[in-house]
Amino acid sequence: MQANLTTDPMVSDLERLLGQKKVLADFPTLTSYSIDGGIYKITPRAVVLIKEAIDLERVLEYARTHTIPLTARSAGTNLTGNAIGEGIILEFSGYDRIVELNREEQWVRVQPGIIYAELNKYLDRFGLIFAPDPSSGDMCRIGGMLGTNAAGPHTLKYGATKDNVISLEVYLADGKKITARSYHLQEPSLEHLLARSSQLQMLQDLIRQNSTLIHAKKLRVTKNSSGYNLFALAEGLDQGYFDLARLFVGSEGTLGLTIEAKLRLVAKPLRTATVLIYFAHLQDVGGAVNAFLALRPSAMEVMDANAMDIVGRSRHGIPREAQALLLMEFDEDPLEDSLQRMDQLCQQYRLCGDIQVAHAKEAQEALWKARKSIYPSLYRFDQKKRPINFADDVVVPAHRLSELIEYLDRYFKDLQVPVAIYGHIGDGNAKRLMWKGW
For the chain of 438 residues, list the mean pLDDT of each consecutive stretch of 10.
Answer: 76 96 96 91 97 96 97 89 94 97 98 97 97 88 95 90 97 95 97 94 97 92 82 96 96 95 96 96 88 92 88 90 94 93 95 95 90 70 62 72 78 81 72 46
How far is CA 416 from each of CA 228, 278, 307, 345, 390, rounded to the nearest angstrom?
36, 25, 16, 34, 16
**Alpha-carbon distance 241 to 234, whole Å?**
9
- The CA–CA distances, whole Å, from 159 to 94, 165, 254, 379, 400 equal 28, 11, 23, 29, 20
Amino acid 199: pLDDT: 93
Q: How many CB atoms lie within 10 A of CB 412?
A: 17
Q: What angle do CA 112, 116, 118 make, to 5 degrees?
A: 105
The domains of the chain are located at 9-91, 98-266, 273-437
Supply the CATH classification number for the domain 9-91: 3.30.43.10
* 3 state SS of 214: helix
The answer to whether 107 touches 84, Cβ cutoff 8 Å, is no
Please indicate whether the domains covering 9-91 and 273-437 agree at the CATH topology level. Answer: no
The C-alpha atoms of residue 17 and residue 1 are separated, in whole angstroms, by 19
Give the whole-angstrom CA distance, residue 116 versus residue 423: 20
CA distance 360 to 272: 8
The predicted structure's pLDDT at residue 436:
42
The Cα–Cα gap between 190 and 278 comes to 53
Contact 401, 283 (CB under 8 A): no
434 Cα distance to chain centroid: 21
DSSP state of 37: S
CATH topology of domain 98-266: 3.30.465
pLDDT of residue 298: 94
Pinpoint the alpha helices (H) of 172-312: 188-196, 198-209, 211-217, 230-239, 244-248, 284-293, 305-311
CATH number of 273-437: 3.40.462.40
